[in-house]
Amino acid sequence: MRVPIRIRLYQPKDVEFVRTLFIRINRQLAPHHMRTQFDVYVRQALKDEIDRIPDYYSARAGSFWIAELGDGSRGVGMYGLEAYDDSSLEIRRMYVDPAFRRQGIARRLLVHAEQIGRAAQYRRLVLSTSEIQKAAFALYQSVGFSLTSTETVEAMSLKAVGGGLRRYHMEKLLR
């Protein structure tokens, strides 16, 4: 059954929801042998991005979105958009609360991102995901994203944990 949601722009009151979901999901994703590396990655991402969403995304001609229950009682998902180049937006930090997965929320977030991109005259959406996010990779393919490249990432950045994980870069053309 699809839970009723609404998608709205991030507000300062969302900081704890975003922090908590980001930390929780990354702890769940962390392979046992990479837990320390994930902890370092999470701390850096909190400092440089998550704890300063308005500044981070506005500096990148972007926006950050919250999916909440239809009655506004709680957040259930999130994602960011930032300019990738003159014709592309990059989807970032797309997460859905595990208690609300398999209810179409991620698909609705992706449709929303497409609508934002089209309205702003962008020609494509890009994103990346890692080999440990198999369900996300399958979802992106199922909604029309195609694989553009694969890389093995050794160094940590705001977009990758590093540590030799394979990263998949994908795109979807906006028509």
Which 3-state string (H, E, C) describes 111-156? HHHHHHHHHCCCCEEEEEEECCCHHHHHHHHHCCCEEEEEEEECCC
pLDDT at 30: 86
pTM reported for the whole predicted model = 0.92
In this structure, how many other beta carbons lie within 10 angstroms of the beta carbon of residue 101? 13
Gyration radius of the chain's alpha carbons: 15
pLDDT at residue number 111: 98
If 0-12 CB within 10 Å is exposed, 13-18 middle and 19+ buried, where does residue 46 land?
A: middle
Mean pLDDT split into 10-residue runs, the chain, 175 residues: 91 96 92 87 91 93 95 95 97 96 96 97 96 94 97 72 85 95
Report the DSSP beta bridge partners of residue 77: 67, 96
The CB density around residue 48, as the number of other CB atoms within 10 Å, is: 12
What residues pair up with 89 in beta bridges, in sequence order?
83, 125
CB-based contacts of 31: which residues, under 8 Å, 6+ apart?
132
Q: What is the pLDDT of residue 86?
A: 95
Q: What is the pLDDT of residue 161?
A: 73
Domains of the chain, earliest start first: 5-126 (3.40.630.30)
What is the enclosing helix (H) or strand (E) of 66?
A: strand 63-69
